[in-house]
Structure 1
């Protein structure tokens, strides 16, 4: 039985999780390979922790995000973007709705910093 965390991941964390998994698979990196590359980049994350991260059982901190983006060849912002390949909303849910599958919010509801 899985216990829901006290501070569950929000939409940005879900987007990052989906994008990390997609990019890792596109590059044909195993968890061990990605872990080795992160270690060489100076931010080691064990392979089993990468699996937990992708499953949503481990939170992604800012340092993780920066290191993963660097090793995967994207910007941290790209990891936070909604996954356009979502079969449910295709990255653009209707106004007023949040995609139940990927957690994406409508563009008009996103906060820019």
Structure 2
């Protein structure tokens, strides 16, 4: 029996970098909301996902893992996005550990988590078919069909791509080479013009009705 327990213990992953981040964010949000562990426990119980006050303390001390149902319940009672619990409240070039061997810049982590960009930091080359396919696959698997269809409208697509290029351009000014930043700037300007054209077309169509 002792050997089986030791084997089971070895096969259980410890709290990883994301779990540690959840613990830190939980403590921060709870303190900011002025909630004691007892009061937070009561609120969780009221929505049907009870966690004892001692359990909350263990989570904050990184001694207990948070499963996905706990995470959603905590986000609900703290009135924050689940992403706010999962990710650090930083944006920019600061590296964020996501797995024991994976670190990505904060700006890209948030883009990825929000469904705006794959977790890859590269310039999309029109000739790189595999990268384009992966980007499309990421979107189709990460978003509900309704939201994906909205992005397919020319105006929505142009607005989305403009936002994406600007979000990558600004932090990239400190990180990328001048030529890479110039490329992103040109792409942002191109999508800005396309968005303007699409909105003008919608205006003309409305005027004809």
Global fold match (TM > 0.5): yes
C-alpha spacing 1:53/1:91, structure 2 compared with 1 (3 Å):
farther
Equivalent pair of 2:40/2:53 in contact (CA under 8 Å): yes
Task: Provide the residue aligned with 1:107 in structure 2.
Answer: 105
In terms of fraction of residues, the more helix-rich structure is 2
In terms of fraction of residues, the more strand-rich structure is 2
Structure possessing the higher radius of gyration over alpha carbons: 2
Note the aligned Cα RMSD (angstroms). Answer: 2.8
Which ranges of structure 2 fall in alignment gaps of 5 or more residues? Answer: 1-9, 113-118, 120-141, 143-209
Shift of 1:51: 0.1
Task: Provide the residue aligned with 1:54 in structure 2.
Answer: 60
What are the within-5 Å matches in structure 2 for residues 86-101 of structure 1?
92-93=94-95
- RCO comparison, higher one (Cα < 8 Å, 6+): 1
Match of 2:49 among 30, 43, 47: 43
Q: Does 1:26 align with 2:24?
A: no
- Aligned residue-pair number: 97
Which ranges of structure 1 fall in alignment gaps of 5 or more residues? Answer: 85-89, 99-103
Q: Distance in 2 between matches of 1:28 and 1:91?
A: 31
